[in-house]
Amino acid sequence: MHQFLSQKKIVKSEWQGFGVFSKRWKIQKLSQEEWDLHWNNCARTNLLQSWQYGEAKSCVEGWKPVRLLVSDDQRNPIALIQILTKVLPILGGIARINRGPIMIKSHPREDNLWHIYAVLKLVMKEARRSRWWYIQTALELSDSNAARSGLKALGFKGLKNTPWASGFISLQNNEENILMSFNKRWRRAMRKSIKLGVNVSKKSCSEADLSLLLSEYSTFQNDKDFVGISGAILEALANQMGSKYEFNLFFAYAKEEEGLLETLPIGMYVTMRTGDTVIYLVGITNKIGRDLQANSLMFWESLLDAKRSGCEWFDIGGLSESTPEGIATFKTGLNATPYLNVGEYYKLISPFSFYKYN
């Protein structure tokens, strides 16, 4: 009983601290130049919070991105958050937070639990001002009892969607140590691909290269009944520009006979750099590519490209219970450090009521 009371007091104290944060902190909208300046001071960034992803969603699907900087009472930057909104005149609208907020020079995400709640509360206040009556979140917050309890205490309800889960590979180790961290079967497949003469080339992402990628990706989606990122969003992302932003396209080719021109690729890979992190986004191989283990070599070359460009983290692009068996086996062999986010929650904001937490 005494232990329960002590724990209750601790939780109450933490909530009081959270309230202090939310009262003192301020938010402001940013230009792209200002956003980039702070974004480059964030650790383990992600694609869905990037300025370029917001632009792609705006161009293709009509979402209006709202980018906010959260600062303390001394104007020290705390976090960035991008909110995608759709608003109808008079009626109001909806807001989505995908894998935000991103903490500036943050500690591991578990240490930012109450900071993230404080940011979320500021977003709730902004929602009333901007007439967003429905907020849906998939926070950049590790799954835990405390994380789920905090969201419920703020009035959010959970959705039954599968939470985002993936893994990070640190690029701060040397190349040999990174390779040796993968399991033997994975390394053997990659070395077999090299022995069989597969060549991986990073492309300039010309109009012809992009057209070929989108055509193969559409066929892949139809053949495998695969949803994933839409081709239109993929194309829009390829056309974006920004500081420490790169749309990386790799083609794999089979060994050529002497005197013959380069053949069509047997595999294609897309990775995205956003700040200090690169994420694997798309991988396609045909039958020849699969027989020659081209997927392993493309992954390795894309990871080396990320490391040599100065990135610190490589996100393997999703690994959960819902990942297809073949892909899961491939990614499990990388022995990446796993992470699991808290999942999706929503809240209805009543225009006729005040917040419970002021």
The tens digit of pLDDT for each residue in 106-158 reads 544 445 788 899 899 999 999 999 999 999 999 999 999 999 999 999 999 99
Q: Residues 122, 25: contact at Cβ < 8 Å?
A: yes
Q: What is the tens place of the pLDDT at every residue in 183-201?
A: 999 999 999 999 999 999 9
Least confident of 123-127, 314-318, 354-358: 354-358
Q: How far is CA 107 from the centre of its chain?
A: 18
Domains 10-164+341-348 and 167-340 share a fold: yes
Domain segments of the chain as ranges:
10-164+341-348, 167-340
CATH of 167-340, one of 2.60.40.1930, 3.40.630.30, 3.50.50.60, 3.40.50.300: 3.40.630.30
Q: What is the tens place of the pLDDT at every residue in 219-275?
A: 988 887 777 899 999 999 999 999 899 999 999 999 875 444 457 899 999 999 999
- Type of residue found at 234: L
Per-residue pLDDT, averaged over 322-329, amounts to 90
In this predicted structure, the answer to whether residue 11 has a pLDDT above a threshold of 80 is no
**Total-model pTM:** 0.89
Q: Residues 126, 26: contact at Cβ < 8 Å?
A: no
In this predicted structure, the answer to whether residue 8 has a pLDDT above a threshold of 50 is no
Q: How far is CA 274 from the centre of its chain?
A: 9
Q: What is the chain's alpha carbon radius of gyration, rounded to the nearest angstrom?
A: 22
In this predicted structure, the answer to whether residue 213 has a pLDDT above a threshold of 60 is yes
For 10-164+341-348, CATH gives 3.40.630.30
Least confident of 8-22, 158-172, 189-203, 276-290: 8-22
